[in-house]
Chain A
Amino acid sequence: MNDILQGLAEAARLTVTLDATLVDITLRSLQVSLTATVIAAAIGLPFGALLAINRFPRRRLVIAILNALMGLPPVVVGLLVYIMLSRAGPLGVLGLLFTPTAMIIAQVIIITPLIASIAHQAMRDLWADYHDLLISLHTTKRQRIRALLWDGRRALLTAALAGFGRAIGEVGAIMIVGGNIDNVTRVLTTAIALETGKGDFGLALALGFVLIALAILVNLVMHVLSRTERDSRW
C-alpha cells in the first residue's frame, strides 16, 4: 500500500515536471500509433466505402473475413510479423525487427480491419439512405463515393479515432516486434509492463496516467463527434 502511495506521489512529480523519459516515451507512442492510424485509415476508409457501394461476388465473404480479422489477438499478429521480419524470415533482409517501423506494421495490421469495418457500417447506412436519390439524380459512381465520403466524414473520423484508441493501448504485438528497447522502441504500454515488473510504480503510474488521459481524450472527441452526427446529422 505504501509502495502505491509513494508511486502516486512520484507519478505526480514526473508528470508535473515533464520528466524527460516520460515525455520521450509518450512522444514515441504517439508517433508510432498516429502513423499506424494514418496508414490504416488510408487503406481502411476507402475500402469500407467501396464495400458499402459495390456489389461484387463474394462480398459477404469479404465482410465476414473483415469482421473476423477485427478479433485477431494482437499477440498472434505480433508473432506473425515477428516471423516475417526475423532474420530468417521472408522480409528479414529489410532489418526491420525491433524498430518503430515493425511496431507500425503490426499496429496497421491490427487496426485496419477495425477501421474498415466501422467505416463500412457507417457508409452502408448512409448509402441505404442516399441510394434512391443518388440513382435518381443520375450520378456517376465517382460522384456517389464522393458524396458518401464527404457527408459521412464525421463517421469516418470516428472510425479512425477508434483505430487510434486501439493502437495506443495495445501492448502484446509491439512488445514482440519492438522488443521494448530503451530509447528506441519503448512506448507507453510496454514501459508500463516493464516498470511494473521491476516494481517501479512511480514511472509506471505516471505513464498509466498519460495513457488514460489519451484514451479519455480520444473517447471524448468520438463522443462529441457521434453526438453532433446524431443530433444534426451533418
Chain B
Amino acid sequence: MVTPILPLKLDAVEVTRRGKRLLGPISLTLQGDGLTILMGPNGSGKTTLLRSMHGLERISAGRVTWQCDAVAARPHQSFVFQTPTMMRRSVLDSIAYPLRLIGRGKAEARKAAAGWAERVGLSAVMERPAHVLSGGEKQKLALARALIRDPQILFLDEPCANLDGHAIREIEAILHDIRAAGTRIVMSTHDIGQARRLADDVLFLYRGQKHETAPRDNFFNAPETDEVRAFLKGDLVV
C-alpha cells in the first residue's frame, strides 16, 4: 500500500514577484478525492496557484503541506502544463519517460506507454517525433505522460485548450474514469460547460485571491458574488 499524500493544505500561501503580489494569501485544504475546477479571468492566478501546490513556484509566504513529507509526496503528483513541453523523442518514448526515470526497463515502460497512447487516442502516431504533433495531440501526450505513473493527485492547467469537441469528450471520459479510480484532480479551465460536466467543486480566483468556492451546483446555480455572476454570463471581469 502506497502512503497517502493527501490531504494537501495551503496555509496563507503568497507568491510575490518584483514587489507585486500575484497570489494570495490563500488557505485551503484538498481532501483525498474529487475533482476541483479552478476558474477565473486571465491573469487571475490559476496557473500560479497550481504551480504553487505542485512545488514549482517559489512561495514568498505561507506553507504548503502534504499528509506525508513533501519530498516523499513529489513522485505521486503529476502536472500537465498549459503549454506542454515536448521532449526531442518519439511519442512513445516521451510517454514512457516518467517510468524510465523510476528505473523501469525499456520494454516494460514502452508497453505501458503504448497502452496509454491507445487510451488517449495517439496509437496512430506513436513512432513520430513528439515535436511534430498538433497542439491537441501534444495535450493528449502530456496527459498520458502525466498518468503513466498512476499519480495520487493530478494537476491540469487548461488541458483541453487546443482540443476539438470530440477530443474534449474523450479526455473528459478519461478524467472521469481516473477520478472514479481514486485520483484527486485539480484542473483549471475557461470552459464553463466543461466545468459543469466535471467539477465536484469550483474555486473561483479573482486578482490572485480565493474569491468564491462552492460545490458545483451551488456555484453555477446560486453564485454568491457579482464577479462570478458576471463571469458566468460571459461578461468581462477585470
Contact = CB atoms under 8 A, between A and B. Distances in A.
Contacts of B79: 132, 136
B12 interface: no
A234 B97 CA distance: 15
Q: Using C-beta atoms within 8 Å of the partner chain, give the interface range for chain B.
A: 20 to 34
B85 A232 contact: no
A234 B131 contact: yes
A149 to B, nearest CB: 12
B229 interface: no
Q: Is the interface of B mostly helix, strand, loop or mixed?
A: mixed
A147 interface: yes
A136 B88 contact: no
A181 interface: no
A221 interface: no
Interface string A212-234: 00000000000000000000111
B56 A136 contact: yes
A72 interface: no
A133 B85 contact: yes
B74 interface: yes
A171 B113 CA distance: 54
Given A138-B75, A147-B87, A234-B89, A133 B81 contact: yes
B181 interface: no
Nearest to A147: B87
Contacts of A137: 97-98, 101
A232 B129 contact: yes
B132 interface: yes
Contact of A232 (B54, B75, B77, B132): B132
B73 to A, nearest CB: 10
Interface in A106-158: 129-130, 132-133, 135-139, 143, 147, 151-152
Interface of B: 54, 56, 74-75, 77-79, 81, 85-89, 97-98, 101, 129-132
Interface of A: 129-130, 132-133, 135-139, 143, 147, 151-152, 232-234
30 contacts: A129-B85, A130-B85, A130-B87, A132-B56, A132-B79, A132-B85, A133-B81, A133-B85, A135-B56, A136-B54, A136-B78, A136-B79, A136-B81, A137-B97, A137-B98, A137-B101, A138-B74, A138-B75, A138-B101, A139-B101, A147-B87, A151-B87, A151-B88, A151-B89, A152-B88, A232-B131, A233-B131, A234-B87, A234-B89, A234-B129
Question: Across chains A and B, which 6 residue pairs bring their CB atoms closest together, nearest first?
Answer: A234-B88, A133-B85, A151-B88, A138-B74, A136-B79, A233-B131
